[in-house]
Amino acid sequence: MLSLPEPLPLYSSRNQFVELIANERLTTGAEIGVQRGIFSEILLRNWTNCAEYHVIDLWAHQKHYLDGANVRDNLQETTYQMARQRLKRFEKVLHYHRNFSNLAVVELKDDSLDFIYIDARHDYVGVWEDLKLYWPKLKRNGIFAGHDYLDLSEVKARAPKEDWSVDAYGVRRTDNKAVKSAVNEFAKERSLQVLQTSQEKYPSWYLRKYL
């Protein structure tokens, strides 16, 4: 008889995702948008049976990317070296993809990952693209998640200098959509329930891929 996986637990912080990963004995994952490797380290230091973790980041300045992470190229190189240093002890399981997320995706096999965390571009179009491209890489019952589950007005209230309204082509949105709307619309199309971490200024979203 087929049995459904357990419903996802409610978490206050993304640092608890590793509990889920351990309970479900997950072994493969990817993070899209890695920067200094801070979240990768949080996961990997407790993910003892991780066999494969793909870290995907351009680590380069982008033309239309209004984000605190979009620093000059020489600082990007330093950031990349910091990530490599921070994650050195996990080298055996790590696969680096220094490229645009929409190009790096072809290096991953379909149905191969148990956990995917999306945290690269935060404009609606960019997030939507990453959701669509990385979804087929996730195994059935896998966990799809990401950072900054917020729309534009919420970002403005928390971080007035951030502006996620402009996409990679330089087109500015006139509605309020950013990460939250992209995730909600993506989930709605697939009748999936989205959960969010409850105690973070920049919440993470998460859902399970049932089919």
Ligand X SMILES: C[S@@+](CC[C@H](N)C(=O)[O-])C[C@H]1O[C@@H](n2cnc3c(N)ncnc32)[C@H](O)[C@@H]1O
Contact residues toward ligand X (CB under 6 A) are: 31, 33-35, 38-39, 57-59, 69, 100-101, 119-121, 147
Question: Which residue of the chain is nearest ligand X when measured via CB?
Answer: 33
Distance CA 114, CA 93 (A): 14
> What is d(CA 139, CA 58) in angstroms, rounded to the nearest whole number?
25
Output the smallest distance, CB 42 to ligand X, in A.
8
Taking the least distance from each CB to ligand X, the nearer of 70 and 141 is 70
User: In angstroms, how far is CA 71 from the centroid of its own chain?
Assistant: 19
CB of 56 to ligand X, least distance (A): 6
Dihedral (Cα; 118, 120, 122, 124), 10-degree rounding: -70
The distance of closest approach from Cβ of residue 120 to ligand X in the complex, given in angstroms and rounded to an integer, is 4
Strands (E), the chain: 28-32, 52-56, 94-97, 113-118, 138-146, 195-196, 205-208
Beta carbon nearer to ligand X, 10 or 38: 38
In whole angstroms, the minimum distance from the beta carbon of 49 to ligand X comes to 22
Which CB atom, from 133 or from 207, has the smaller least distance to ligand X?
133
